[in-house]
Amino acid sequence: MSSLSLRDNPYVLTGLSLALLYGAAKVVKNGLSSRRRAPYPPGPKGYPIINNLLEIPTPSEHPWLVYEEMAKKYGDMIFLRAFSQPILILGSAKRMNDLFEKRSSTHSGRPYSIMLDQLLIGGIILHITYGYEPKPTGDPYIAIAHEVEGAFKIVAVPGTFLVDNIPILKYVPAWMPGAGFQRFAAYYKKADHLAKSMPYQFVLDAMKRNEAEPCAVTRLIEDLPSPKDPRYAEDEEDILNVAGVSYLAGTDTTTGVMTMFALLMILYPEVQRKAQAELDRVVGTSRLPDFGDRDELVYVKAVITELLRWFQATPMAVPHTTSEDNYYDGYFIPKGTIVMGNAWAVLHDPEVFENPMEFNPERYIKDGTFNTELLDPLSFSFGFGRRICPGMHLVKDVVYLMVASTLAMFEIHPSKDESGAPRNVELTFDSGVVVLPGPFDSDIRVRSSAAEHLMKSLSE
Ligand code: HEM
């Protein structure tokens, strides 16, 4: 995927002269029309015309780490420009609260991206949204969704594609050398349509046969006007998009959290054992944990909270934009600025969390009860203000059930090599807007004969 990066892509060369002309024109225009009476927030000086283009990290550089490093020099607000596109990075809870929450009405737009516009906008979510039970392996709906998510992860990071900064490049024909972004967009546009229309068609067909399971989409379809109504086509398109976006936004993120959970259980076996001892004590071994056990499972709750603090599936959330010029703390933030909050930095701030890189559920336990005094990772992991993730509460419940049931039934170990020695597990990240842990081997076994018995009785 690195060939898609701004700096490495060959079409950078093809478009360079266009870029410089366009950039120069924009810079002159902005200079003439600028009415600001305060400085921009601090940030690197940049270069003529392209401004900070070369300082903006690509997805593979893990932007949340680069911005955390930059914050040491410029503070908790960093102002950058990719050509004339202003970008503001917020690095502290205070800045995020002040701008995303208190000024939510003017800080909740979404950046317009030519690539996103051309392109696009898990099992449980597929089920809730479409009432569809996916196949355990090789499910076609999951496969196509993963493909689209893979593209979204890259495209949604501001600055990944030069065409978003130099719109004139969208007229470069797909056959031209270096116009790979055009072919990328065309391919994923089709994939995006399939990812949304395939499960929708599945529900329609099931409804015709009277076999549809009640789900979000059946409810919406029931409320559609008659097919003869002029609003029908538009309303149907809305259902396709609402369901598709929920499904696509929820699948990779939740998968990332659960995959990281498995990896952490391998790396911290004593945490796994302690949580299992609590489950055995509170729930016993003859049934699965349910929501009624939640309050008593203090250590399991601490494991989940620490998981959501330690790992962010969306470390820089999803970019917002400002809908009007505004002044904040003596600085000028222009209309159209892309604003991103570095949630990772807040949740790894050593002044708030002792040894923040350590996975330590105990930090959330005080005198044997759950410690509510410590910053709640949920306030930062799911975005901000009026754009906050609508799937957040579903995720809390799903992750609780999955973590508690997995620990109750299974042991997660590192895989073994030919000599029987445990393999080292390396922590790698596959990154974009959504970050997933890289692949790793594991050895997952049923915990006990009681767990085996329970599994059999549940599948009967
Ligand atoms: C671990 C799991 C998840 C994480 C970390 C996560 C995180 C986020 C973040 C950071 C945003 C952007 C918020 C902002 O712009 O400030 C977002 C938006 C969104 N999420 Fe989630 N999400 C998760 C799961 C889900 C699930 C399960 C669903 C649906 C079933 C969902 C549906 C959405 C939708 C529709 C949006 C767009 C909201 C908007 O633009 O107004 N997400 N999510």
Q: Which residues neighbour 20 within 8 Å (Cβ) at sequence distance 6 or greater? A: 49
Distance 384 CA to ligand 1 centre (A): 10
- Strand duo 410-414 + 442-446: pairing: antiparallel
Query: Which is higher by pLDDT, 135 or 62?
Result: 62
Give the H or E element holding residue 437.
strand 436-437
320 in Cβ contact with 107 (< 8 Å)? yes
> What's residue 157's pLDDT?
64
CA-to-CA distance for 322 and 104, rounded, in angstroms? 9
pLDDT band, very low/low/confident/very high, at 301 (cuts 50, 70, 90): very high
Ranked by mean pLDDT, the top range of 24-28, 178-182, 306-310 is: 306-310
DSSP string, 302-355: HHHHHHHHH--SSTT---EE-SS-EEETTEEE-TT-EEEE-HHHHHT-TTTSSS
Instruction: Tell how strand 77-82 and strand 436-437 pair up.
Output: unpaired
Looking at residue 307, what is its pLDDT? 97
Residues 6+ apart with CB under 8 A from 137: none
pLDDT of residue 331 exceeding 90, the answer is: yes
For residues 73-110, one letter each, b for 16 or more C-beta atoms within 10 angstroms of the residue's C-beta and e for the rest, the string is ebebbbbbbbbbbbbbbbbbbebbbbbbeebeebbbbe
445: number of Cβ within 10 Å: 12
Tell me the C-alpha to C-alpha distance, in Å, between residue 138 and each of 7, 123, 143. Answer: 35, 12, 7
According to DSSP, residue 287 is labeled S
Q: Which atom number of ligand 1 is nearest to the Cα of residue 242?
A: 35
**pLDDT range class, residue 408, cuts 50, 70, 90:** very high
Q: Which residue has better confidence, 7 or 345?
A: 345
54's enclosing H/E stretch is none
Q: Which two tokens mark 312?
A: 């962010």
Contact 53, 200 (CB under 8 A): no
Compare 186 and 218 and report the one with higher pLDDT. Answer: 218
Query: In the structure, how many helices (H) and strands (E) does the chain have?
Result: 15, 12
* Cα 87 to Cα 321: distance, rounded to the nearest angstrom: 9
The C-alpha atoms of residue 452 and residue 201 are separated, in whole angstroms, by: 38
CB atoms within 10 A of CB 451: 17
For residue 8, what pLDDT is reported?
A: 42
Percentage with pLDDT > 70 across the chain: 80
pLDDT-derived band at 260 (thresholds 50, 70, 90) equals very high
pLDDT at 18: 52
For residues 456 and 66, the model is more confident at 66
Output the CA 243–ligand 1 centroid distance in Å: 13
At 247, the amino acid letter reads Y
Residue ranges of the alpha helices (H) in 3-139? Answer: 11-33, 63-74, 93-96, 114-119, 123-130
Give the ipTM of the model, two decimals please. 0.98
Rounded CA-CA distance 321/423 in Å is 45
pLDDT digits (tens, 9 = 90+) for 145-161: 777 766 666 666 666 66
Residue 413 β-bridge partners: 443
| Residue 250 Cβ contacting ligand 1 at under 6 Å | yes
Q: Read off the pLDDT band of 245 (50, 70, 90).
A: confident
Average of pLDDT values for 390-413?
A: 94
* Strand residue runs (E) in 283-409: 320-321, 326-328, 331-333, 338-341, 365-366, 369-370
Ligand 1 pocket: which of 116, 382, 402 to mutate (most atoms within 8 A of CB) = 382
For residue 437, how far is its CA from the centre of ligand 1 (angstroms)?
A: 18
- Is the pLDDT at 247 greater than 70? The verdict is yes
User: What's the pLDDT score for residue 265?
Assistant: 97
Cβ–ligand 1 contact at 391 (below 6 Å): yes
Nearest atom, ligand 1, residue 434 CA: 5
State in Å: Cα 390 to ligand 1 middle.
6
Q: Tell the burial category of 436 from Cβ atoms under 10 Å away from its Cβ (0-12, 13-18, 19+).
A: buried
101-136 per-position pLDDT tens digit: 999 999 998 776 555 554 443 555 666 666 667 776
Distance CA 48, CA 54 (A): 12
Fold topology of 251-459: Cytochrome p450 (1.10.630)
CA distance 314 to 320: 14
Among 128-137, 352-361, 364-373, name the one with the lowest average pLDDT.
128-137
Output 218-221 pairs: Cβ under 8 A, ≥24 positions apart. Answer: 218/131
Largest CA distance in the chain: 76
Q: 81 φ, ψ to 5°?
A: -140, 130
- Find the range with the poorest average confidence among 118-132, 158-172, 331-345, 355-369: 118-132
Q: How far is the CA of 245 from the centre of ligand 1 (A)?
A: 9
Quick one: tokens of 214? Answer: 């009640």
pLDDT of the residue at 133: 73
| Contact residues for 432 (Cβ-Cβ < 8 A; gap 6+) | 59, 152, 153, 154, 156, 157
Is it the case that residue 10 has pLDDT exceeding 70? Answer: no
pLDDT greater than 90 at residue 308:
yes
**Partners of residue 445 on adjacent β-strands:** 411
pLDDT confidence of residue 149: 67
Whether the CB of 254 sits within 6 Å of ligand 1 = yes
Domain boundaries, the chain: 10-248, 251-459
Higher pLDDT, residue 184 or 320 = 320
Cβ(383)–Cβ(416) below 8 Å? no
Most confident range, picked from 122-136, 270-284, 316-330: 270-284
Contacts of 217 (CB under 8 A, 6+ apart): 129, 130, 131, 199, 200, 203, 239, 243
pLDDT, position 375: 93
12 pLDDT above the threshold of 60: no
Mean pLDDT of 345-360: 96
| pLDDT for res 407 | 97
Cα–Cα distance list, 446 to 129, 285, 300, 408 (Å)? 30, 12, 19, 9
Q: What is the pLDDT of residue 349?
A: 96
Q: Whose CA is nearest to atom 19 of ligand 1?
A: 389
pLDDT of residue 42: 97
**Alpha-carbon distance 63 to 157, whole Å?**
9
For residue 434, the model assigns a pLDDT of 78
What average pLDDT is seen over the chain? 84
Residue 318 scores a pLDDT above 90: no
70: nearest Cα among 96, 85, 82, 88: 88
Q: 448 and 279 in contact (C-beta within 8 Å)?
A: no
